[in-house]
Amino acid sequence: MAPSTYGLSRQWQRILQRVPSLLDYQTDADLVHHLAAGQTWLAHCGVSSELECIVPVVGGQHGIMSVLMALLQPGDLLLAEALTYTPILTMAARLDLQTGAVAMDDDGVVPEAFEAWCREANPKAFYLTPTLQAPTTVTLSKERRARIAEIAAKNGVILIEDDVFGPLKSNKPAPLAQIAPETTIYVASLSKAVAPGLRVGFLKAPTKLASALHQSVNLSVWMTPPLTLEVARRLIEDGTAGELTAQQQRIAKHRQNLVQSILGIEAVPNLSDGFHVWLPLPEGWRADVFSSECARLGVHVSEGRSFAMNASDAPEAIRLCVSHEANEERLKRGLEIAAGVLQQKPIGSSMKI
Output the DSSP codes for 8-45. Answer: THHHHHHHHHTHHHHTS---HHHHHHHHHHHHHHHHHT
HSE-up of residue 61 (Cα within 13 Å, Cβ side): 12
Domains of the chain with bracketed CATH: 9-238 (3.40.640.10), 242-343 (3.90.1150.10)
Query: Is residue 162's pLDDT more than 90?
Result: yes
User: What is the Cα–Cα distance from 57 to 207, expressed in whole angstroms?
Assistant: 17
Give the per-residue pLDDT at 12: 57
pLDDT score, position 188:
95
pLDDT bracket for residue 347 (50, 70, 90): low
Whole-angstrom distance, CA of residue 54 vs CA of residue 63: 11
pLDDT of residue 18: 58
pLDDT of residue 223: 76
Q: Is 25 or 271 the better-scoring residue by pLDDT?
A: 271
Q: Is the pLDDT of residue 350 over 50?
A: no
**Counting every residue, how long is the chain?**
353
Residue 171 has pLDDT above 90, yes or no: no
- pLDDT of 351 reads 40
pLDDT computed for residue 267 by the predictor = 85
Map residue 320 onto helix, strand or coil.
strand
**Percent share of the chain, pLDDT over 90:** 67
pLDDT, average across residues 297-303: 92
Between residues 184 and 352, which one has the greater pLDDT? 184
* Mean pLDDT within 144-162: 97
The residue ranking higher by pLDDT, 283 or 205, is 205
Interatomic CA distance for residues 214 and 250, integer angstroms? 35
The H-or-E segment that residue 225 falls in is: none
Pairing type for strands 98-102 and 77-81 reads parallel
Position 326 scores a pLDDT of 78
Average pLDDT (305-322) is 91
| Interval 77-114: pLDDT, tens | 999 999 999 999 999 999 999 999 999 999 999 999 99
User: If you average pLDDT over every residue of the chain, what do you get?
Assistant: 88
Q: Is the pLDDT of residue 345 over 90?
A: no
Query: pLDDT-based confidence at 25, cuts 50/70/90?
Result: low
Which tens digit of pLDDT belongs to each residue from 273-293?
A: 889 999 999 888 999 999 999
* Predicted local distance difference test score (pLDDT) of residue 271: 82
Q: Are 184 and 210 in contact (CB under 8 A)?
A: no
